[in-house]
Amino acid sequence: MFTKMHGLGNSFVIFNQLGVAKEYQDYSQLAQIVSNVSFGIGSDGIILICSSDIADFRMRIFNEDGSEGRNCGNGLRCVAKLLFDQKYATTSSFTIETLGGVMSVEVEEDKEKQVQYVTVDMGEPKLIKSKIPMQGDPCTVSVNEPHSFGDDVYQLTCVSMGNPHAILFADDVKKVPLEIIGPVIECSDLFPERVNVGFVTVINSQEIEYRVWERGSGITMACGTGACAAVVAATLNGMLERNLPIIVHLPGGDLTVRWDEHGHVWKRGEATYICHGELVTYTNSYSSMINEREK
């Protein structure tokens, strides 16, 4: 059984593995099959909800290309809503383990006692290059730092919110050829684990616009960790002030992000059900097609 959900258009097929005695093994291939819009269900990736030894629950995310992600802000909100709505979480505040660390979440119910908004404590941003990770002096930060990619030079501000982000600024993010620039920076040798690439336009002191190319998925409607990284990057470049709630406009909708005086980044937004269903067995011919595409 699966549940398909989205956070501002960033969609996931979620499998609840709580209480499952034997887990499926090849999640990388499963993500590629399920995410395919023509032959599968169609999504930006799959999420597994598992038990945890260090938190209340654990989340694993596999991107559309089969790679495993370290964290996902929109995915966290979807998982938090599902866990609370289905009574696995019995309090409005609980913790979820990710590869990027343990995240604290708090849910807000609507009149029908269903979760409408989820606030996530995304923790402290990691700024030094060894923690992004990226090439260069491991103890320095990359704030408005020029880097060459072929014949082009881009000013990067790099932030990890449990996964790596390279943030750039533009007068109008809608006019940025993200489909061209995104994969060039994502796969550059500058980032040994690849990187998410986001463009920001600062509208005013409490609003920004943001578009993202996600590693392993390409252009998506929204990215929660990217929205957090965008606010941190704009603040580091003197464009925003600390501890103010910033509305981040993404193609799929809005998030509210605040980088507080203690260093933690807070993100608040909605999560929505799309459908529930049962995953049938896929044919060997389709698996062969996936393998052929990877060659």
The CATH code of the domain that includes 18 is: 3.10.310.10
* pLDDT > 90? residue 13: yes
How big is the chain by its Cα radius of gyration, in Å? Answer: 19
Strands 68-69 and 93-98: unpaired
Count other Cβ atoms within 10 Å, centred on residue 154. Answer: 15
Return the amino acid letter for 263. Answer: G
Strands 10-16 and 45-50: parallel
* pLDDT > 60? residue 294: no
> What is the reported pLDDT for 23?
64
Residue 52 φ/ψ, nearest 5 degrees: -135, 150
> What is the reported pLDDT for 147?
97
Q: Does 60 share its domain with 134?
A: no
286 pLDDT tier (thresholds 50, 70, 90): very low
Number of independent structural domains in the chain: 2
Return the amino acid letter for 279. Answer: L
Residue 223 appears among annotated catalytic residues = yes
Q: Does 206 share its domain with 243?
A: yes
112 pLDDT tier (thresholds 50, 70, 90): confident
26 pLDDT tier (thresholds 50, 70, 90): confident
Q: Does 28 share its domain with 69?
A: yes
Spatial separation of the C-alpha atoms in residues 130 and 126, rounded to whole Å: 9
First to last CA, the chain: 31
Q: Does 17 share its domain with 107?
A: yes
Q: Does 241 share its domain with 288?
A: no
> What is the reported pLDDT for 282?
54
Residue 72 appears among annotated catalytic residues = yes
Say which of 50, 72, 187, 228 is annotated catalytic.
72
Say which of 139, 223, 228, 275 is annotated catalytic.
223
Angle of CA points 281, 287, 289, to nearest 5°: 140
Structural domain containing residue 154 = 129-263
Q: Does 89 share its domain with 154?
A: no
- 225-27-5-206 Cα dihedral, nearest 10 degrees: 0
